[in-house]
Structure 1
Amino acid sequence: MTMIEYSSTVPAKEVAGSLFDLGIDTLIIGNNDFGLRLPTDYNVLETQRLTETAHQLGKKVVVAANAILHNDKLLAYEKYLADLLTIGVDYVMVGDAGAVNLIQEKFPSQKFIYNGEVLDTNSGMINFWGNEGASYVRIARELPYVELEELIPKLQVPPIMQLFGPIAIEHSARSLIYNYLDYENKSSEFNFNQVYHVNLPQKPEDIYTMFEDQNGTHMYGPEDLNLLEQLPELVVLGICHYTFDSKFYPSENWLSIMEIFIRARKLLESGESNFEELNTELKEKLPADRKISTGFYHYQLGDIK
């Protein structure tokens, strides 16, 4: 049986240890200046302490430093990478070609994960970043099974796939929420990092989640991704590393959901492959404002035109 590894973002700092205790192998943390859409903001000292704790437990830490870099951030970003190398974090997750170049030139011993968000959809792109030194590449969340079936055997670098959590569908460096409220003479209602909910007139039942921070405006799809029941066939494809995004989830709900995925992994390792009951249990642990689906997973070629 292939060894299955789980990584998760941290919904609140006080539950980081609980995630390790449950059986999560790796925690994804970061500084919100350089990491995109993180639930928590870890400074360098906090990162060092958590990394030390993780290593004492035989666990790992990934630092998301995947913001799109602009010239005014480069010096601070380089200093941040130097700090992370000194700390000894296991991986830095990047999504900017300039960040990869910086690691190659100045921090070649730093292992990194490439996360191109929606761009990593084909073996050519994924293998390219593997050839550039990436230890892993996170594949796009929008890939259906029929494409994964063709993609995975062609990969020369291990993939990481999101198994559960919100799906970011749009990112703009512009202050779109503030600009809209300002246009409506409601700028006083704007709050940095506040979560807003919007819908489209043609689909009033679909609620999109948005917020604005120092990296711009972020929008999420109306349904979070849940591939619990699909885990057995994904493992058969050869995907061993899975990630979970806790953005918008209260800690209590998140720990309950992660516990279900940990049980699923243990059942799978013992030969069980029917997770329908577990999936029903998972739905009962969802916060009231979150909906789940399998996203594009079951789409067939030609379904989207």
Structure 2
Amino acid sequence: MIELIASPASLQQATALMQAGIDTIYAGEDYFGLRLPHSFERSELTELIQLVHSQNKKIVVAVNAIFHNDRIVNVQNYLEFLAAEKVDRVTIGDPGAIRILQKNQIALDYWYDSADLVTNARQVNFWHQHGAAGAVIANEVPYQELQQLVPNLKAPIQLLVYGAAAIHQSGRPLLTNYFNFVQAHQDKLDREKGLFISEPRKPESHYAIYEDINGTHVFANNDVDLMPRILKVAQLPINHWFLDGLYADETGFVTIAKAFDTARTSFEQGQLTAAQCLQLDELVQQNQPANRAVDTGFFDIDPDDVK
């Protein structure tokens, strides 16, 4: 069975996503999780958990931040809270947080998620030996490498099939430092500001950037859209498809989720064709925010060209 996972921007959107066919809601709080469309603090997260479980769906909570000493002391209490709320699994990338989970025997399944670091089967299998039920594969792993990676896995992997692809994170407040340097007044540095940076002498480059409690986050020029290649993804097989709602349109994201649900259903019925994928991709592109283009990310790139 293919699992569709999506990150919502609100309780209302979470409901709509589940109605559109999403199996698992991915959410959390910015203090503990990275690059979330909405920071669900505890009371709201409790409401979301209850909502998801009332629909017989699953919820994954992000605990994949990079924790310094001042913040990791709060991880145990948060994990215990999540266990008490009976979340279905968490994603963790910091070995210190994994140690807290296991040392205190907190009853939570976890998937290993250290973003760009998870690029080979040996790493996935290593963390599986250390209790991980699965892993989130890096966005930079192209199809040719996935073909070699998947047959050697001892645990499932999650792949980004739609949404913004982070290409850099710094724990430093780079935007604050920049605006302080140029002595420019900026009242907002978060994602809603819509800031971007360009490469020198490459005016066409347009890297979205924002700052939050976890530092500064930079994203690829275009959002990932693997609908044109989703048949290849399913045939590998990779059965955990992640749709990231970070920069998505509130209602358009729901339509996009439904398109991936249609592709999933057709594949499981043995009826998905390349032509249908292209038709569904038209729907994806029609519901993409006007200021954000899409492409297949690293999927089609020759591994020798990945730099």
When the two structures are superposed, what TM-score results if normalisation uses the length of structure 1?
0.95
Contact 1:181 1:190 in 2 (8 A): no
SS of residue in 2 equivalent to 1:302? helix
Distance 1:191 1:135 in 2: 39
Matched residue, 2:220: 221
Matched residue, 2:13: 15
Contact 1:34 1:66 in 2 (8 A): yes
Contact 1:34 1:67 in 2 (8 A): yes
Give the AA of the match of 2:295.
S
Contact 1:11 1:249 in 2 (8 A): no
Among 276, 288, 291, the residue aligned to 1:289: 291
Task: Identify which range, 270-279 or 22-31, moves more after superposition.
Answer: 270-279
User: Displacement of 1:229 after TM fit?
Assistant: 1.8
Distance 1:287 1:155 in 2: 36
SS of residue in 1 equivalent to 2:227? coil
Task: Identify which range, 66-75 or 148-157, moves more after superposition.
Answer: 66-75
Q: Extract structure 1 runs of 4+ deviating beyond 4 A.
A: none
Contact 2:118 2:136 in 1 (8 A): yes
Matched residue, 2:188: 191
Distance change in 2, residues 1:114/1:304 (3 Å): closer
Contact 1:136 1:158 in 2 (8 A): yes
Contact 1:166 1:225 in 2 (8 A): yes
Matched residue, 2:253: 254
Deviations 1:169-224 (A, max 9, x none): 110111101111111111x2141413311212322112110001111111001011
Give the AA of the match of 2:229.
Q
User: Displacement of 1:121 after TM fit?
Assistant: 0.4
SS of residue in 2 equivalent to 1:189? coil
Contact 1:178 1:190 in 2 (8 A): no
Residues 128-143 of structure 1 aligned to structure 2 (within 5 Å):
128-143=126-141
Contact 1:161 1:242 in 2 (8 A): yes
User: Displacement of 1:110 after TM fit?
Assistant: 1.1
Distance 2:142 2:174 in 1: 30
User: Displacement of 1:108 after TM fit?
Assistant: 4.1
Q: Give the unaligned 5+ runs of structure 2.
A: none
Residues 257-268 of structure 1 aligned to structure 2 (within 5 Å):
257-268=256-267
Among 155, 158, 179, the residue aligned to 1:157: 155
Contact 1:82 1:107 in 2 (8 A): no
- Paired residues, what number? 302
Distance 1:46 1:66 in 2: 19
Contact 2:2 2:264 in 1 (8 A): yes
Matched residue, 1:76: 74
User: Displacement of 1:273 after TM fit?
Assistant: 2.0
Distance change in 2, residues 1:45/1:56 (3 Å): same
Deviations 1:75-102 (A, max 9, x none): 2221111111111100111111111111
Task: Identify which range, 193-202 or 204-213, moves more after superposition.
Answer: 193-202
Matched residue, 2:3: 5
Matched residue, 2:26: 28
Among 98, 104, 107, the residue aligned to 1:106: 104
Deviations 1:99-132 (A, max 9, x none): 1111111134210111110000011111111111
Distance 2:56 2:12 in 1: 19
SS of residue in 2 equivalent to 1:212? strand
Distance change in 2, residues 1:304/1:161 (3 Å): closer
Matched residue, 1:201: 200
RMSD: 1.3
Give the AA of the match of 2:300.
H
Among 138, 161, 169, the residue aligned to 1:171: 169
User: Displacement of 1:236 after TM fit?
Assistant: 1.3
Deviations 1:44-81 (A, max 9, x none): 22222222222222200000011101111122221111
User: Displacement of 1:278 after TM fit?
Assistant: 1.3
**Does 2:270 match 1:273?**
no
Contact 1:164 1:227 in 2 (8 A): yes
Q: Give the unaligned 5+ runs of structure 1.
A: none
User: Displacement of 1:13 after TM fit?
Assistant: 2.7
